[in-house]
């Protein structure tokens, strides 16, 4: 993923959020997932945890470092 993080990043809300919202709505679920978030600032990517519920996007938490920041 290290090489693809800029290609995979999406804004919030974006296509991935819409797909997860549909799943949450159809099944009455709350879903937490991580994704690379495209910032409004050009070239900045956030490592974001997103919470979606049956009624849509609830919130997000931007972590400090991308998962590729250090070796793992």
* Cβ–Cβ < 8 Å for 62, 37: yes
Q: Which of 36, 25, 9, 26 lies closest to 58, judged by CA?
A: 25
HSE-CB at 71 with a 13 A cutoff on CA atoms is 0
pLDDT in tens, the chain (72 residues): 566 888 899 999 999 999 999 999 999 999 999 999 998 888 888 899 999 999 999 999 998 766 655 544
pLDDT for 2 equals 61
Task: Please tell me the predicted confidence (pLDDT) of residue 5.
Answer: 82
pTM above 0.85, yes or no: no
Answer yes or no: are the C-beta atoms of 33 and 26 closer than 8 Å.
no
Residue 42 has a pLDDT of 85
Give the pLDDT of residue 72.
40
> HSE of 42 in the Cβ direction (CA atoms, 13 Å)?
0
């Amino acid at each position: 993923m290290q090489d693809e993080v800029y290609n995979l990043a999406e804004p919030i809300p974006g296509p991935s959020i819409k797909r997860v919202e549909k799943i949450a709505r159809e099944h009455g679920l709350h879903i937490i997932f991580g994704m690379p978030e495209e910032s409004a600032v050009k070239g900045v990517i956030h490592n974001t945890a997103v919470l979606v519920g049956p009624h849509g996007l609830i919130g997000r938490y931007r972590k400090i470092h991308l998962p590729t920041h250090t070796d793992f």
